[in-house]
Structure 1
């Protein structure tokens, strides 16, 4: 029985980056022997065991055979005779198909170290095309490692295009797609995830609402990049630089979906996109069963980003209405999330990447002034019921007017 550290932990160790991804493969053992050694079985589809001390997962070396559609259509085979090289061969990318033995020696049968050196994401074998989920995994790894200069190998991109054309992506569950999408939102370059999916045709299958933005023009005066899809990924890139929050990054991704359904005879104007995008965001959130906090922030950003951009033109009572609409009095953190997305939208344009966004400070000033109004003081004046809210709003608008030196 031999135990090897495999996969992401080996890759990240060689890249000298932090990793909490520790997977172990056991060669030359059986389930009975593992349990005799004190390991606890936890695997359903194939034999995985928890180490008696560290509780880390240890899987018996195995091979897989394609038996049906999708990423679950596999037959797993394991025995004492399955070698480490056979186990590594079933993995997706060469940089994930390396192992470390107990002495610290790297075992690299498929050229993973060479691909690390050349910053290349390359599939291990033709068996790559048997699992459609790997299209999303490669896109995620591209987003994770793009800042280090990694790119998807041309031959791997061709296989990903082949998987897309085969219709296999349609067998992926919404939950698995969202899992990879969500992981991509925590990487340094989440926009690369969508670039890769688009390059192999997968974006049109998995997220047509976003894919439809490419080729849709915007006014060149405000958007020198013109293309709405390009703008959207620029916004996501900027959002990732401004915040590590995945909810903010998601909202930045979908904030302009409404532009994808603007009638062509209205191009390049998109007057109703803030309203039209709401149904599309709900559609995406329903399909992928997203958590409510992702949906709620995305809807707020879609509906309000144009208003925030016009901060210099707003009336004091309009600020109060916006604050009420986003429920900022109960959830003050929403304001910063909204403003961060709007900041990213502003800088996510060609030539505007470094431009300041004074609207953020204006909204923060307005909120601070309005928040200084005390509801208890209003109640002490004798106002009751509905009158309390009306008087609060009047006082808040007055405070904003004074703070921002507004004439209305």
Structure 2
């Protein structure tokens, strides 16, 4: 029995990055031997075990072959005869197909170290094209390591293009896709993920609504970058730069989908794109079964982001409607994330990345003004039921009028 550290732990050590998760491969062992040493089995499809003390995952060396469509369409074979090189060749990228023993002696049959030095994301073998999930994984690694100047090898990009055109991407489950998308959006440069997907043709398969934004112009006075797709990438880049959470990043990606529906004869204006985009945002949300908080914020940002930009001009009644829509009294965090998404949208414009966004503090102040309205005095006056609701609304409107006047003074 020989045990090797493999994959990301080896890659990140060689890159000088912190190693978090460690994967182990066991060569020359049987399931019975692992159980005898106290390892606990966890793999339903192939033999993976948890270490009796550390709890880390140890997998028996295995080979795999394509047996059906999609990510799960593989047959695995594990036995003591499977070599380390045979196990490594089934991996996606050369930089993930290295192993080291307990003395840090490197096993690198597919030149992963060379590709690390060349800053290349390159597939290990033609079997790469058997797993459609790898298109998303490579794009995610491109986003992760863009800051280190990594690029996707041209021959790997070609395989990704073939996979995108094959129909295999459509066999991916919503859960597996979302796992990769959500992880990619939380990388330092998530816009690179979208760029790579677009370059290999996967974006128009997975998110045609986002792909449709490229080549759609906007008024240059408001958007010096003009192209709506380029703007979306910039907004996503700003969201990452300002360390926004996943909910905000997802909303940033989808906020302008309605502009993809504008007839060409109306370009570069996009009248009512906020409402037109809602059905598209809903479709993307459902396609990937995004978490509820991501879905809700994306829809709200899509519908109201122009309200955010025009906050200083809004009538108190419109401002109140906005606050009610977000339920700022019970869910203050969601309104804070809306403000963040609006600010990223405003900053995601060429040459305006550092521009101040006074709307943010104004909206926070408006929410606080509305929240200060006390319910108890209204109850004491005898208001109840629908009448109480109307009375609260009147008082909040009064508070917002006072707030607006004070802010304008």
Q: Tell me the residue number matched to 1:190.
A: 190
Q: Tell me the residue number matched to 1:303.
A: 303
Shift of 1:106: 2.1
Shift of 1:139: 0.5
- Distance in structure 1 (CA, Å) of the matches to 2:259 and 2:16: 42
Contact 1:370 1:400 in 2 (8 A): yes
Q: Tell me the residue number matched to 1:321.
A: 321
- Distance in structure 2 (CA, Å) of the matches to 1:263 and 1:185: 30
1:43 counterpart SS class: coil
Q: Tell me the residue number matched to 2:276.
A: 276
Shift of 1:220: 1.2
2:157 counterpart SS class: helix
2:18 counterpart SS class: coil
Q: Tell me the residue number matched to 1:136.
A: 136
Report matched runs for 1:2-401 at 5 Å: 2-401=2-401
- Distance in structure 1 (CA, Å) of the matches to 2:88 and 2:256: 42
Shift of 1:264: 1.9
Shift of 1:35: 1.1
The one-character-per-residue Cα deviations of 1:337-366 (angstroms, maximum 9, x if unpaired) are 000000000011111111111111111111
- Distance in structure 1 (CA, Å) of the matches to 2:155 and 2:354: 37
- Distance in structure 1 (CA, Å) of the matches to 2:272 and 2:244: 30
Shift of 1:290: 1.8
- Distance in structure 1 (CA, Å) of the matches to 2:68 and 2:363: 55
Q: CA RMSD in A?
A: 1.6
Shift of 1:404: 3.2
- Distance in structure 2 (CA, Å) of the matches to 1:177 and 1:240: 20
Shift of 1:53: 1.3
Shift of 1:153: 1.4
1:299 counterpart SS class: helix
The one-character-per-residue Cα deviations of 1:73-105 (angstroms, maximum 9, x if unpaired) are 222122212111111111101111111201122
- Distance in structure 1 (CA, Å) of the matches to 2:237 and 2:377: 45
> After alignment, is 161-170 or 220-229 more displaced?
161-170
- Distance in structure 1 (CA, Å) of the matches to 2:285 and 2:37: 46
2:277 counterpart SS class: helix
Shift of 1:400: 2.5
> After alignment, is 182-191 or 334-343 more displaced?
182-191
| Count, aligned residues | 408
- Distance in structure 2 (CA, Å) of the matches to 1:332 and 1:375: 18
Shift of 1:39: 1.2
The one-character-per-residue Cα deviations of 1:147-203 (angstroms, maximum 9, x if unpaired) are 222111112111111211222212212221111111112211111111100000000
Contact 1:242 1:340 in 2 (8 A): no
> After alignment, is 341-350 or 37-46 more displaced?
37-46
1:213 counterpart SS class: coil
- Distance in structure 1 (CA, Å) of the matches to 2:64 and 2:378: 70
TM-score, normalising length from structure 1? 0.96
Shift of 1:381: 3.0
1:75 counterpart SS class: strand
TM-score, normalising length from structure 2? 0.96
